[in-house]
């Protein structure tokens, strides 16, 4: 057995220590989470690794990725990290080829990478528009495009696109972000129809306001105002989003495709 294959088996066994037993019929799958070193991405990576999947994630900042991997190792979790600028097709293609060569065909893809560049349309520069569209929406096409054939060939696939409540309802100062996130769900619905017969499902998750660094940076008065609009009475946690990903990537979610699952505490009901 090659060193990498041995590492893969050890890794699977290790992550399965926290995951379901063999009797449950659980199948560990090669998983890619883009932007996995971020707030929500970290929770998604943890959840999928604890289920027993083999999880790869992309990074742009090598130092950040090394520190992240070391922190995760302290929790007993092993991840495979690969450089990728998901806004760039060739970079996405290079990453996916490397993952497939190291770990095998990717059967679960979570398109989580995203950025904001907030300002009103009257003040928005062309760069602010393009950056948000390319990092949030082009990235979804780029990574999905190069992962898809492997999923179709293997006869199983789960694609989850992490959108936003603001793609559903719009938000002052976020025309670029709302357009990209709404576009993501259009992509979900079209692709879901193209691949359904091959046991590949495609779904969107639209988180509401999640208690991340971004929310903590909002002035307290505005934060309290947002909180007043959330019927459940709290901000979401990254784990709330990760739990939804855990279900939609499972074998049990096979009959759900083309859906947009709101994870927002009742803040917006479509």
- Around Cβ 183, how many Cβ atoms within 10 Å? 18
Give residues 81-140 in contact with ligand NAP (rule: CB under 6 A): 84-87, 112-115, 135, 139
The residue to which tokens 């929770």 are assigned: 43
Choosing from 59, 82, 177, 209, the catalytic residue is: 177
**Which has the closest alpha carbon to 17: 46, 52, 56, 53?**
52
Which position's Cβ is nearest ligand NAP?
Answer: 38
- Residue closer to ligand NAP by CB (options 156, 209) is 209
**Which has the closest alpha carbon to 49: 70, 4, 10, 18?**
18
Least CB distance to ligand NAP at residue 52 (A): 23
Q: Which residues have CB under 8 Å from 43's CB, separation 6+?
A: 237, 238, 239, 241, 242
- Residue closer to ligand NAP by CB (options 187, 209) is 209
Least CB distance to ligand NAP at residue 25 (A): 31
Least CB distance to ligand NAP at residue 258 (A): 19
- Residue closer to ligand NAP by CB (options 214, 251) is 214
Give residues 53-92 in contact with ligand NAP (rule: CB under 6 A): 58-61, 64, 84-87
Tokens of 14: 């290790």
Q: What does the per-residue mask of binding to ligand NAP show for 20-39, with x meaning CB under 6 A?
A: --------------xx-xxx
Alpha carbon 152 to chain centroid, angstroms: 20
Q: What does the per-residue mask of binding to ligand NAP show for 139-168, with x meaning CB under 6 A?
A: x----------------------x-x----
- Residue closer to ligand NAP by CB (options 91, 201) is 91
Question: Whole-angstrom Cα distance, residue 158 to residue 199?
Answer: 9
- Residue closer to ligand NAP by CB (options 32, 192) is 32
Give residues 218-257 in contact with ligand NAP (rule: CB under 6 A): none
Question: Whole-angstrom Cα distance, residue 187 to residue 189?
Answer: 6
Least CB distance to ligand NAP at residue 42 (A): 8
Least CB distance to ligand NAP at residue 35 (A): 3
Question: Whole-angstrom Cα distance, residue 82 to residue 97?
Answer: 11
- Residue closer to ligand NAP by CB (options 68, 156) is 68
Whether 209 is a known active-site residue: answer no
Return the active site residues: 177
Contact positions toward ligand NAP, by CB under 6 A? 34-35, 37-41, 58-61, 64, 84-87, 112-115, 135, 139, 162, 164, 207, 209-210, 212, 214-215
């Amino acid at each position: 057995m090659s060193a990498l294959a041995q590492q893969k088996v050890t890794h699977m066994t290790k992550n399965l220590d926290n995951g379901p037993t063999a009797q449950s019929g659980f199948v560990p799958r090669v998983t890619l989470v883009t932007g996995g070193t971020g707030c929500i991405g970290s929770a998604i990576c943890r959840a999928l690794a604890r289920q027993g999947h083999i999880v790869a994630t992309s990074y742009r900042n090598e130092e950040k990725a090394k520190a992240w991997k070391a922190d995760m190792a302290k929790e007993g979790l092993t991840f495979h990290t690969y450089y990728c600028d998901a806004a760039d097709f060739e970079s996405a293609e290079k990453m996916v080829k490397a993952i497939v060569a190291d770990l095998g065909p990717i059967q679960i893809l979570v398109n989580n990478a995203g950025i904001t560049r907030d300002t009103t349309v009257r003040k928005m520069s062309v760069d602010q528009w393009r950056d948000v569209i390319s990092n949030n929406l082009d990235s979804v096409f780029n990574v999905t495009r190069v992962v898809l054939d492997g999923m179709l060939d293997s006869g199983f696939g789960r694609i989850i696109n992490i959108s936003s409540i603001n793609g559903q309802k719009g938000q002052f100062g976020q025309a670029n972000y709302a357009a990209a996130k709404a576009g993501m769900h259009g992509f979900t619905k079209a692709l879901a129809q193209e691949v359904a017969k091959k046991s590949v499902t495609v779904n969107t998750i639209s988180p509401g306001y999640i208690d991340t660094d971004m929310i903590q940076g909002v002035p307290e008065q505005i934060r309290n105002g947002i909180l007043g609009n959330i019927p459940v009475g709290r901000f979401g946690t990254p784990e709330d989003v990760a739990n939804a990903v855990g279900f939609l990537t499972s074998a049990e979610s096979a009959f759900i495709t083309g859906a947009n699952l709101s994870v927002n505490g009742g803040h917006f009901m479509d």
